[in-house]
Amino acid sequence: MSREAVFNLVVLAGLVALPLYAHLSDAPFTITLATRAVILSLAAVGLNIALGIGGLVSLGHAVFFGVGGYAMGILAFHAQTYAPLMEWPFVVEGTKSMPVIWLVAVVFSALVALGIGLLSLRTSGVYFIMITLAFGQMFYYFAISWSAYGGEDGMSIYVRNGFPGLNTLVPVQFYGLCLVLLCAALAFNAVLLRSPFGLALNAARQVPDRVRAVGLDPFRLRLLAFVISGAITGLAGALFADLNRFVSPTMFSWQLSGEFIVFIIIGGTARLFGPVAGAVLFVALEHFLGGVSDYWHIWFGLLLLGVVLFGRGGLIGVIAGRGRGHD
């Protein structure tokens, strides 16, 4: 077994063991922290499909996170106010059921990704970066202006949504649900890497001219990757909203989009567990450094600068040695 595989197993074991320990020793805050890390990991795993395999530097992935969050917020808001979402041409009621909310979050974030992808994937390089960033800001301002759903203040959901057979109000049960979804996304990512689509997408990043010359269209490959990527990040957004029982325009903020990329780089690019390692490290630093200094972002910025300038492999690179780099 390679050192990277051992590292992945250790991370996974830690993600199972730590919250269980916290649960037994009655430390719900630790579980909440771990849940946050797992959900952010899921969002970054989604981004990594576009960025790591497809080479698409999307600086607007918070859009999908926000769409997923608002899908949850809107459905749950209508359920808790007993007002139907729409009455014409057919009645749509709100819901407090997680599976339904997840489905809606995935479908809508995929649709938004399709729209943004159709426009932004016509370009590449810096244009793509700036355009995804700009569309992210568009959704941010739209959410602020959308006073029916809280506008700038966002909206609170009083009770966490339910999942059949579980009590999601128990932190460790909700955590388990999130962890299962993260593992499913990682498994899908691993299968994807070995599949025809993974092969073609990976080649489209390295040698698009070759991909065209064998009769494949890089644009379609990238578009599908972008849609899948957006859908997974959207699912994470729905979970994040449920964790906080609150949605607001900050879920669309460009800082969040930047942080998703940071998770991937700090963890290690082109590594299956890179986003997970990065998100866990970020949440841990946020907690511990944030406790030490109000200005911990300075130290985090310096760390990030150091990783980008000097340590190309990220955390996994340091621990597991050089793998396939992204250049």
Partner 1 sequence: MSLILIAEQVLNGLQFGIMLFLMAAGLTLIFGVMGLINLAHGSLYMVGAFCAAAVAAATGSFALGLVAALAGAAAAGALIELVVIRRLYDRDHLDQVLATFALILIFSEGTRWVFGSFPLYLDVPPALAGPVALPFGIQYPLYRLALIVIGLVVAAGLFWLIARTRIGVQIRAGENDREMIAALGVDIDRLYTFVFALGAALAGLAGALVGAIQSVQVGMGEPVLILAFVTIVIGGIGSIKGALIGALLVGLTETLGSVFLPELFKLFMAPAAATQTGASLSSMAIYILMAMVLIWRPTGLFGARA
Partner 2 sequence: MTEAVLQTRGLFKAFGALQATEDVSIELRPGEIHAVIGPNGAGKSTLIGQISGAIVPDAGAVLLGGRDVTALAVPGRAKAGLARTFQISQLAMEDTVLQNALLGALGAAGRPFDMLRPVARRGALRDRAEAALARVGLTDQARMRVAELSHGQRRQLEVAVALTLAPKCFVMDEPMAGLGTEGSARLTGLLDGLRAEAPILLVEHDMDAVFALADRISVLVYGRVIASGTVAEIRADPAVREAYLGDAA
Q: How far is the CB of 5 from partner 2 (least distance, A)?
A: 17
Question: Which residues ranging from 298 to 327 are in contact with partner 1 (CB under 8 A)?
Answer: 298, 300-302, 304-305, 308-309, 326-327
Out of 37, 49, 59, 110, point to the residue binding partner 1 (CB under 8 A).
59
Of residues 152 and 217, the one with the C-beta less far from partner 2: 217
Q: Whose CA is closest to 11, among 273, 314, 288?
A: 273
Among the residue ranges 101-109, 114-122, 218-226, 270-278, the one whose residues contact partner 1 (CB under 8 A): 114-122
From the list partner 1, partner 2, none, which binds 120 (C-beta under 5 to 8 Å, kind-based)? partner 1
Among the residue ranges 28-36, 51-59, 168-176, 194-202, the one whose residues contact partner 1 (CB under 8 A): 51-59
Out of 10, 86, 93, 123, point to the residue binding partner 1 (CB under 8 A).
123
User: Would you give the binding string for partner 1 spanning residues 234-263, x where CB under 8 A is met?
Assistant: --------------------x---x--xx-
Q: Give the chain as a 3 state SS string.
A: CCHHHHHHHHHHHHHHHHHHHHHHCCCHHHHHHHHHHHHHHHHHHHHHHHHHHCCCCCCCCHHHHHHHHHHHHHHHHHHHHCCCCECCCCCECCCCEHHHHHHHHHHHHHHHHHHHHHHHCCCCHHHHHHHHHHHHHHHHHHHHHCHHHCHHHCEECCCCCEECCECCCCHHHHHHHHHHHHHHHHHHHHHHHHCHHHHHHHHHHHCHHHHHHCCCCHHHHHHHHHHHHHHHHHHHHHHHHHHHCEECHHHHCHHHHHHHHHHHHHHCCCCCCHHHHHHHHHHHHHHHHHHHCCCHHHHHHHHHHHHHHCCCCHHHHHHHCCCCCCC
Q: Is 120 a binder of partner 2 (CB under 8 A)? A: no
Question: Which residues ranging from 144 to 163 are in contact with partner 1 (CB under 8 A)?
Answer: 144-148
Out of 11, 74, 133, 241, point to the residue binding partner 1 (CB under 8 A).
133
Of residues 170 and 304, the one with the C-beta less far from partner 1: 304
Q: Is 122 a binder of partner 1 (CB under 8 A)? A: yes
Q: Is 209 a binder of partner 2 (CB under 8 A)? A: yes
Cβ 172 vs Cβ 19: under 8 Å: yes
Question: Which residues ranging from 306 to 325 are in contact with partner 2 (CB under 8 A)?
Answer: 324
Euclidean distance between CA atoms 241 and 254, whole angstroms: 17
By CB under 8 A, name the binding residues for partner 1: 51, 57, 59, 119-120, 122-127, 129-131, 133-135, 137-138, 141-142, 144-148, 254, 258, 261-262, 265, 269, 295-298, 300-302, 304-305, 308-309, 326-327
By CB under 8 A, name the binding residues for partner 2: 188, 191-192, 194-200, 202-203, 206-207, 209-217, 221, 224, 324
